[in-house]
Amino acid sequence: MTKIVSAKLVKTDLEKATVTRVAGQSQESSSTASMETVPADFIDGDFSEEDDSQDDDCWGKLFPLGQSFTAIELNKDEYTFGRGENCDVPFIAPTKKHPYFQAYSKVHFKLIRQKTSTGFHIFLEDTSGNGTFINGEKVGKGNKQVLGNNDEVSLAVKKNKAYMFLDHNANEDTSLPKEIREKYTLTKTLGRGACGEVKLAFAKGSCERFAVKIISKKKFSIGGKSQVNLSKQVMTEVNILKSLKHPGIIRIEDVIDTPDTLYIVLEVVDGGELFDKVVSIGQYDEPTAKLLFYQMVLACKYLHDQGITHRDLKPENILLATDSNETLIKVTDFGLSKFVDAGSIMKTFCGTPTYLAPEILLTAGSGAYTNSIDCWSLGVILFICLAGYPPFSDERKDMDLPKQITGAH
């Protein structure tokens, strides 16, 4: 497997195909952080600090998630949204061709603020023919549904996200440092990991979206036996991210350091993880797998040229810029990475077992190994893309996982 993946992959026809099919996305990524699952600009127009201000009667805000939508301060008790000119919020035809704009109704949905026995509540009424969705669930024409803080509204199809609702009456997280609250509005949780959680954030003044990785510096136990201070590990990750500039590597935008917590502001990509994509489609056809894999190889080569070995390459750490099968990929999660000098070796045992190279297992992580371990992991990822399942699995009853890997069975 290692020999196959380590073989020369850059060929003229593949190079031309990749440049033709990905160059446009790469350029867009540098300016908009590849933010939407629809092939369109993120936000129309500019924003100033004044746009982010709110009056005393403002009860909520809609943050834009898709093409031609802008931030809206909500202060009336009822709003209509749609293609009709008489709507309170008319949808403007995008300058670029949009696959769903013609599916919007003249009055697509209404937002209604009502006072009830339990206080004020916000309702979304679906008045469309093709549907309005809240967090991916269709409301249905003529139906009403409560709209809660951080809920996402999609139009016509659930993946065509338009707005995220921010309820100004929701309790603000006062535990967030002033540096964060002054620059960003943190909303829903995107995911959680061993070191902390990732939240979706909007930059104040521009409404540009980011993912904020919140990492605690406090000590925690591993296996309940030893205490480990994360500060050095976290700062290693930050320094690595800061030093990388490549369209196939997730980009760091900002770092806010506090005594107890580190906030790493990263670009957002909306296509999800490669792992989830393979699960949803079953497997990739060979040309598409070749396109995605070529990008992974380029990103990995870039890391190796910088003296960096990822050491935890897996489909969960390959992010997709869009929901399309042919898309720009982003390699992420360098929490287990370290800088290494050319020709030096690494002796730290880490990584996910399914994707670990044989030399790591054979020495229980105490032996000498180089950045070729990433090549093995890339080979496993390629197999998964083409076959739809991993080449090695602990679900096998006839042979344990380490023996499968070391024997390449």
Q: Is the CB of residue 364 less than 8 Å from the CB of residue 349?
A: yes
Q: Among the options 167, 312, 333, 374, which is catalytic? A: 312
Q: Is the CB of residue 87 less than 8 Å from the CB of residue 181?
A: no
Q: Tell me which amino acid residue 1 is.
A: M
Q: Is the CB of residue 167 less than 8 Å from the CB of residue 73?
A: no
Per-residue CA distances from 136 to 41, 124, 159, 215, 336 (Å): 21, 14, 7, 29, 34
Q: Does the annotation count 167 as an active-site position?
A: no
**Residues marked as catalytic:** 312
